[in-house]
Amino acid sequence: MRILGFLGSPRLNGKCNKLLKRALEGAASKGAEVKNYELIKCNIKYCMGCGNCFLKNPELTIGKCPLKDDAAAILEDYINSDGYLFASPCYDVFVTALMKTFLERKIALTYKSMEELAKIPAARPGVAANFLKKASFIVTANCADELEEVMGDPCYEALEAHLLFEEIDTLDKLYVGGVEGMSDEVFNAKLDKAFELGVHLVETIEAARNE
């Protein structure tokens, strides 16, 4: 079982990464092999919208992208993994530009051909097997927990739409509001929730496979 984390925060020592690391520890405690992709450290260029990845060789599992950067290797790891933890701070009522840039490059996994353009495209063959792969989200924000709908929902939607195209189930969503100036006591309780999120992800994937 391999679980990947994707960090959308540029602040490696921020609260978002602390929560993501704790969630990955939860996954590891259930025997998963884990890796944290701190996106700020990766070379991921903007999608240029050329369409090469889905118009040429649409039969490939990962569409060929002319950009030379880390995206192809990350996507290779992505399709060979079983579950995902996406963590992003809310910036201007959305996921960060770092996370969005990565999501756009995942188009190489989803669109299939010109004929599919006007439709919601199914994932490329081999990307996921009938929703057996799962993902959970962590969103940090300065607005309090009561504003999860305003701040968290647009972030969840951005992530969830991609996963739907890839036929990957969304499992849990952890919103951690009021992060700036949060007491250690409150934050520690959120870290415990993050750990449980990681545990639940692995347990759910295992249970789905054993059905």
Ligand X SMILES: Cc1cc2nc3c(=O)[nH]c(=O)nc-3n(C[C@H](O)[C@H](O)[C@H](O)COP(=O)(O)O)c2cc1C
The whole-angstrom separation of Cα 140 and Cα 127 is 29
| Residue 15 beta carbon to ligand X: minimum distance, rounded to whole angstroms | 4
Q: Give, as ranges, the residues between 35 and 74 that touch ligand X (CB under 6 A).
A: none
Q: Report helix angle 15-29 to 184-210, nearest 10.
A: 40
Q: Which amino acid is at 23?
A: A
| Residue 173 beta carbon to ligand X: minimum distance, rounded to whole angstroms | 15
DSSP 136: E
Identify the residue among 9, 36, 101, 110 touching ligand X (CB under 6 A): 9
8 is an interface residue for ligand X by CB under 6 A: no
The whole-angstrom separation of Cα 46 and Cα 35 is 23
Q: Give, as ranges, the residues between 93 and 152 that touch ligand X (CB under 6 A).
A: 93, 140-143, 151
16 is an interface residue for ligand X by CB under 6 A: yes
187 is an interface residue for ligand X by CB under 6 A: no
| Residue 71 and residue 105 in contact, taking contact as beta carbons nearer than 8 Å | yes
Site string for ligand X, 160-179 (x = CB under 6 A): -------------------x
3-state secondary structure of 67: coil
| Residue 6 and residue 211 in contact, taking contact as beta carbons nearer than 8 Å | no
- Is the Cβ of residue 142 or residue 204 nearer to ligand X in the bound state? 142
The residue ranges that bind ligand X (CB under 6 A) are 9, 11, 14-17, 89-93, 140-143, 151, 179-180
